[in-house]
Amino acid sequence: MKGHSLSDENNRIIGGLSINPIFADFVETELLPAIGFEYAMFWSGVESIINDLTPKNHELLKIRDELQDKIDDWHKARQGSDWDHDEYVAFLKDISYLEPSDTFVKIETMNVDAELASVAGPQLVVPVSNARFAINAANARWGSLYDALYGTDVIAEDEGRGSTGAYNARRGAAVIRYATEFLDKTLPLAGASHGDVNAYGIDHGEDGVRFVASHANGETLNLKSPEQFVGFKESESRMQFLFRNNGLHIELLINPDHPIGKDATANLADVVLESALTVIQDCEDSVTAVDAADKVSVYRNWLGLMRGDLTASFMKGGKEVTRALAKDRVYTSFNNEELVLSGRSLLLIRNVGHLMSNDAILDAAGDEVFEGILDAIVTVASALTDRRRDGLQPNSCTGSIYIVKPKMHGPAEVAYTDILFSRVEQLFDLEENTIKVGIMDEERRTTVNLPLCIKAAKGRVVFINTGFLDRTGDEIHTSMQAGMVLPKEAIKERAWVHTYEDWNVDVGIRCGLPGLAQIGKGMWPKPDEMLQMVETKQTHPEAGASCAWVPSPTAATLHAMHYHAVDVQAVQKKLASRPLASLDKILTPPLGDVSTLSAEEIQREIENNAQGILGYVVRWIDQGVGCSKVPDITNVGLMEDRATLRISSQHIANWLLHGVTSKEQVLSIFKRMAEVVDNQNDSDASYKRMSEDIDNSIAFQAACALVLEGCNQPNGYTEPLLHQYRRKKKAELAR
């Protein structure tokens, strides 16, 4: 994109770069002083990276478009013919979309923190643009199981166990029973239940400290596996006992003065679980950063997290509350030595992909610099402060910097990321492969070439993760011209989805990720449906995933129970011997004859898509909210971001292309759904209704454009149009 910032005339010229003053000021007054780096060397290095890598970035995007054009033309030429899978696969190989690979190269990643390499647990994803959310997520390393159970639907509200109003002792008793059952499964005592204990304590011996429990009948009880006890902390009337199971910690808090502990068996005031082992602080799908000012807000929060001094203040109950990063947790180990555990999750930063640009810097040609280049430089620079902070354990005890890289298409794009990271390491005089990469397996060309993608960054790979939502959006767009796609729920049931999930695990195991890197699964999308999550999400560790995404700290605590129930390392060892998942199934598009659907079924499908699109886009465009809980058409709150938007917009675009619906029907539905969405947002004082002036609603225009122009969007991405309309909205607000 050509530079078009409203403040271009005020930009600072440094070498061949034109730099937005907001961004320049952040770099020179906040970022570089924090790392002790010289200004001229920084800008010279940035310019060199931009000049050298921009042409390659353009080339990779051109290849994406050329491959998609060839696939579209191939499908158009065969319209009306029976599907020939062998011919299709041969064609994909012929155009180098599917690249030859018959070996699995082992990764060589070194200096990886245990939270990524060897311990399985929940992974929280949060927009780093929201300081309060970012801090809450970083502090989600430890969570109260009592609170997580009491405040969610995991505990039913029948039989007088309601959760509203003052503390409900009956509900509290149900929480304690649930937690006791969890402890009996996870930290079993020899010969009794934790519910039979009237006191917990420790015995000091010559060889160290031993954990003991006292039965109500006076009998002394021991853990079935005494090695699970790792430490304790004693202060006044409080006692904290620390245990470890499957690598995850559990703390029992004993406090007779606590409102819960005073009446609880053995004065057990809480069960605290190590919850979000890792957190992805997101610069991408959950963030609305469309210009230099937005990017500086994102970068400033990441810098504060790395320095350890980020705070957020807000009003709660009529009082100002300030959030800050949690302190480390200090215990005495079982052998009477100091044991310090981080009070915060290990943080990764998700940069943007290779597609978008930003006006923070214009290059010598007057073009906006690719945002992915900018992200790599600034987020790594910010992470260097992690090595300087006092009073807190470093984010990475190994000195590594963890970047999740999304939306890469195939091995060449991963190789380009490897080069980009190498150049950033050279700029800051870092050892080779200090910067680790998480590969999001969320684009079709990456999936089918995953072994080669891992090989392309074998010294950096610390994470592969399936992303069903973006993956489905790309699946629809890649096969846009092949025919009608099925309704969304039917797409989920097709063989390619389950095979894709298995393929990711199979390839990860064969490429040596267990013990060195994460194999991950996607997001739980219903933040209010915690009972359903608890009942179903254990399938992720059972599938061999060493992490899976959750939408909140509470969800992380509840999901942690699954990793206590499942030994993921043992699962991965077992899965290593199963046959490799079928690429043929993955390469079978979710097409079908939807002409058998009734007019009412088609109408409902489009309404559901349109309502979801509008509910998300109106907040994105009007309020700059990139990820939020959006009520669906039945008023069930769903976590929405650009990935869910990509599916819905591409789905309607496909049905428009193939005559399942018409432009007139779609626009009519959008107008009716705008009123539905407006009514769902009635309680939001800052919300601007679309339906009252629909012809002039920028948000409504953006939502319609995503569908009507969906076939022409690069790989079906929503970012180009969202950025265009958000900038238009910001200009309107500035007038």
197-245 pLDDT per residue, tens: 999 999 988 778 999 999 989 999 999 999 999 999 998 889 999 999 9
In 3D space, the residue among 393, 398, 388 whose CA is nearest the CA of residue 307 turns out to be 388
Confirm whether 350 is a catalytic residue: yes
pLDDT at residue 179 above 50? yes
Q: Which DSSP string do the residues of 144-188 spell out, in sequence order?
A: EHHHHHHTSTTS---TT---SSS--HHHHHHHHHHHHHHHHHHS-
- For the chain, how big is the Rg over CA atoms in Å? 27
Task: Please list, residue by residue across 200-226, b when 16 or more beta carbons sit within 10 angstroms of its beta carbon and e when fewer do.
Answer: bebeeeeeebebbbbbeeeeebebeee
Per-residue pLDDT reduced to its tens digit, 436-480: 999 999 999 999 999 999 999 999 999 999 998 999 999 999 999
Domain 141-274 maps to which CATH number in 3.40.50.720, 2.30.110.10, 2.170.170.11, 1.20.1560.10? 2.170.170.11
**Spatial distance between the Cα atoms of 449 and 441, rounded to a whole number of angstroms:** 10
Quote the pLDDT of residue 164. 87
Q: What percent of the chain has pLDDT over 90?
A: 91
* Catalytic residue chosen out of the listed positions 641, 646, 678, 726: 641
Quote the pLDDT of residue 4. 47
pLDDT band at 635 (very low <50, low <70, confident <90, very high): confident
pLDDT at residue 427 above 90? yes
Quote the pLDDT of residue 68. 98
Lowest-confidence segment of 168-172, 312-316, 380-384, 439-443 by average pLDDT:
312-316
Residue 369 contacts residue 358 (beta carbons within 8 Å): yes
**Spatial distance between the Cα atoms of 358 and 367, rounded to a whole number of angstroms:** 9
pLDDT band at 639 (very low <50, low <70, confident <90, very high): confident
pLDDT band at 516 (very low <50, low <70, confident <90, very high): very high
Which range of 301-305, 317-321, 389-393, 681-685 scores highest in mean pLDDT? It is 301-305
pLDDT band at 382 (very low <50, low <70, confident <90, very high): very high
Helix (H, G, I), strand (E, B) or coil at 653: helix
N-to-C CA span, the chain: 24
Quote the pLDDT of residue 5. 45
Q: Match 């077992």 to its residue by tokens.
A: 574
Quote the pLDDT of residue 715. 98
- Work out the widest C-alpha separation in the chain, in whole angstroms: 82
> 59: Cβ–Cβ under 8 A, 6 or more apart, which residues?
none
What's the distance, CA 405 to chain centroid?
A: 11
Per-residue pLDDT reduced to its tens digit, 8-34: 779 999 999 999 999 999 999 999 999
The ranges assigned to domains in the chain are 8-21+28-86+112-139+278-313+343-469+495-586, 141-274, 594-734
What's the distance, CA 563 to chain centroid?
A: 18
* Catalytic residue chosen out of the listed positions 350, 445, 460, 646: 350
8-21+28-86+112-139+278-313+343-469+495-586 and 594-734 share one fold = no
Q: Which long-range contacts (CB under 8 A, 24 or more apart) does 615-619 make?
A: 615/640, 615/677, 615/680, 616/640, 616/641, 616/644, 616/645, 617/645, 617/699, 617/702, 617/703, 617/706, 617/722, 618/677, 618/681, 618/687, 618/690, 618/699, 618/700, 618/703
What's the distance, CA 538 to chain centroid?
A: 18
Across 278-327, where does the E strand assignment appear? 278-282, 311-316, 319-324
Domain 594-734 maps to which CATH number in 1.20.1220.12, 1.10.1040.50, 1.10.1040.10, 3.40.50.300? 1.20.1220.12
pLDDT at residue 405 above 60? yes
CATH number of 8-21+28-86+112-139+278-313+343-469+495-586: 3.20.20.360
Quote the pLDDT of residue 681. 94
What's the distance, CA 2 to chain centroid?
A: 31
Whole-model pTM: value is 0.96
What does pLDDT average to over the chain?
95
